[in-house]
Amino acid sequence: MLTQRYIQAILTHDIADGIKHNADAIEKCERALRVAEQQEHTEQLSFRFVDLDRRFGI
């Protein structure tokens, strides 16, 4: 009986650890996505500025 409880405890710990690591990975992916979106927005603004500079010599 104790062996079964020990095995359950180990499996439960491993599952909980896996969930924690997956949550960390998801958070990192979400941060990377926000950074990529910000970079895209920055590039768009940069292209607009270059276009304005070419047209009006700003």
pLDDT at 30: 92
What tens digit of pLDDT does each residue of 3-56 get? Answer: 888 888 888 888 888 777 788 888 888 999 999 999 999 999 998 888 888 888
Residue 13 pLDDT: 84
| CA nearest neighbour of 29 among 21, 16, 18 | 21
Residue 11 lies in a domain: no
The answer to whether position 37 is within a domain reads yes
Query: For residue 39, what pLDDT is reported?
Result: 93
Query: Is 1 inside any structural domain?
Result: no
pLDDT surpassing 70 at residue 58: no
Task: Look up the pTM and report it.
Answer: 0.55
Q: Is 14 domain-assigned? A: no
The tally of domains found in the chain comes to 1
**Alpha-carbon gap, residue 27 to 21, rounded angstroms:** 10
| Amino acid 12: pLDDT | 86
Q: Is residue 30 part of a domain?
A: yes
Classify residue 31: in a domain, yes or no: yes
Q: Is residue 13 domain-resident?
A: no
On whether residue 28 sits in a domain, the answer given is yes
Give residue 51's domain range. 21-58
